[in-house]
Structure 1
Amino acid sequence: MPAATPTSKDLARTDTIEGRILDAALVQFERVGVKKTTIEDVARQAEVDRVTVYRRIGSRDDLVRAVTAREVQRLLADLEDIPSRHDTIDAVVATIFVTVITRWRTHPLIDRMLTLEPDRLLPQLTTEGSSFFTMSVVASTTILRNTLQELDLPDIPDIGARIEIACRVVHSLILQPVSTIDLESEHALDAFAREYIVPIVTR
């Protein structure tokens, strides 16, 4: 399901000024796109003045980077809960793969920007996205190393390299969703992951 658009009540519950600003920016970006969003719009939505937005976050491009970074961090936090729902490493790897692809496919902001404003998002996911990519590889490696220990399975010495390969596949599928392979449903994604991604990571 697509992420729900935050309401003014949701914004009021955010603990920090930075959080309120990022929530407000997310609302505006999803509502009208980045190009039509102004710092004044974000400030009004966050109930702060525009100087505060510039001081705490920066320009509109800085807002896009900060919002994207926070969405990546939220996803990685959700991935940490996956191992507790499964009793095999194969299922954990497959579910992580399906969750990441599905989350980005259904995220209103990512969908809007890839469709209407790719020139703003693509650099953050490619030439300027090294920190996001590295963060994803490191977090996924930590999750799966911990899962191996919890399941009393032997460590995979090169698991970091294996996960980076898998992350590059995921990255490609997000940036170029058109495929000759059936990857439309979660069932199809799970089947693909078990056939091709799980062996890369665990065999």
Structure 2
Amino acid sequence: MRSATDVTIRVRPHRSRHTSARARGVGDNRAMPPNLPFTAATFIRAALDRHGPSSTTDDIGEKLLDAAVRQFETFGVTRSTMGDITQRSGLSRMTLYRRFANKQELINAVLLRESGRILAGLKQEIDRYDDVESKLTEGFLYTVETLRAHGLLNRLLESEPEVAVPYLTVRGEPLVSNSAEFLASEMASSLDDSRSHEELLVAAEVAVRLVISFVLTPSTTIDLDDPDVARDFARRHLGPQLRGQRGASDGS
């Protein structure tokens, strides 16, 4: 049985077979950073320590990432420049470029840190409960409420969906795979389950994609703003999926 410490996660850029060299970032400043290997435990521990799962975990790096988040929340990503970040942080451009070669690397680091913090909060939330059902329902409720209240995510979805949506869809592989690996590891440690890690990973990925769909397209029939409705939805629909059951049990 694999624990969170056994899972290795790699952050890698989405690359379509039809993507041109320029679109992949070859020869311009939009190139994604190299693969960053780390474990799910490291991912969570980094966030708990108020450091993101990027290669920049020092106080200066944190200050730059904090400044970037505030800048993006206020003015959006497209209108913000590297100069804006340095001015807001009170640090020099040289300091910024020593840690992030270009704006895209800075954006990637911000997204990694924010997603790491969300997973860290989720880990803390589900660890408060001993029974599987509470872990499931309260974990789902925490995730939905946290994503819906996330300042940067909401700012980008509202004013710059062309920036945010790709990271949740066509370029969302790092987010989906990291979150699914985390959830599959939690399932392995919480459930008395004979399924393989690969089978758990499939169930976890379905759950992750479901949550993302609710964030991108809020339901008009399922009021997830009501905590009791959210818990009931998780119990009836996510529970059987994550447990490998064929259907929800009546009233449970």
Range into which the TM-score falls when normalised by the shorter chain: 0.7 to 0.9
Q: Which of residues 124, 140, 148 in structure 2 aligns to 1:105?
A: 148
CA-CA distance at 1:199 after TM superposition? 1.0
Aligned equivalents of 1:171, 1:116: Cα separation in 2? 18
Give the structure 2 partner of residue 170 of structure 1: 211
Deviation readout 1:106-158 (Å, 9 max, x if unpaired)? 0010001000001111111111121111000001111221223xxxx344432
Instruction: Please give the residue correspondences for 1:54-65 in structure 2 after superposition, counting only pairs within 5 Å.
Output: 54-65=97-108
> Counterpart amino acid of 2:202?
A
Aligned equivalents of 1:128, 1:73: Cα separation in 2? 17
Aligned equivalents of 1:140, 1:102: Cα separation in 2? 17
Give the structure 1 partner of residue 235 of structure 2: 194
Contact 1:38–1:60 at 8 Å: present in 2 too?
Answer: yes
Give the structure 2 partner of residue 142 of structure 1: 185
CA-CA distance at 1:27 after TM superposition? 1.0
Give the structure 1 partner of residue 29 of structure 2: none
Aligned identity (percent) is 32
Give the structure 2 partner of residue 7 of structure 1: none
CA-CA distance at 1:88 after TM superposition? 1.5
Give the structure 2 partner of residue 46 of structure 1: 89
Instruction: Please give the residue correspondences for 1:9-28 in structure 2 after superposition, counting only pairs within 5 Å.
Output: 15-28=58-71
Contact 1:145–1:155 at 8 Å: present in 2 too?
Answer: no
Aligned equivalents of 1:78, 1:181: Cα separation in 2? 24
Give the structure 2 partner of residue 36 of structure 1: 79
Which runs of no fewer than 5 residues in structure 1 stay unpaired?
A: 1-9
TM-score by length of 2: 0.68
Give the structure 2 partner of residue 130 of structure 1: 173
Aligned equivalents of 1:28, 1:199: Cα separation in 2? 42
Please give the secondary structure, in 2, of the residue aligned with 1:81.
Answer: helix
Which runs of no fewer than 5 residues in structure 2 stay unpaired?
A: 1-49, 51-56, 246-252
Aligned equivalents of 1:129, 1:57: Cα separation in 2? 21
> Counterpart amino acid of 2:93?
R
Give the structure 2 partner of residue 5 of structure 1: none
Cα 1:104–1:58 change in 2 (3 A) is farther
Equivalent residue pairs, number: 187
Contact 2:126–2:139 at 8 Å: present in 1 too?
Answer: no
Aligned equivalents of 1:185, 1:138: Cα separation in 2? 28
Aligned equivalents of 2:126, 2:219: Cα separation in 1? 30
Please give the secondary structure, in 2, of the residue aligned with 1:80.
Answer: helix
Contact 2:125–2:142 at 8 Å: present in 1 too?
Answer: no
Contact 1:65–1:124 at 8 Å: present in 2 too?
Answer: no
CA-CA distance at 1:39 after TM superposition? 1.2
Aligned equivalents of 1:155, 1:134: Cα separation in 2? 22
Q: Which of residues 53, 59, 70 in structure 1 aligns to 2:113?
A: 70
TM-score by length of 1: 0.83
- Choose between structure 1 and 2: higher helix proportion: 1
**Superposition CA RMSD, Å:** 2.0
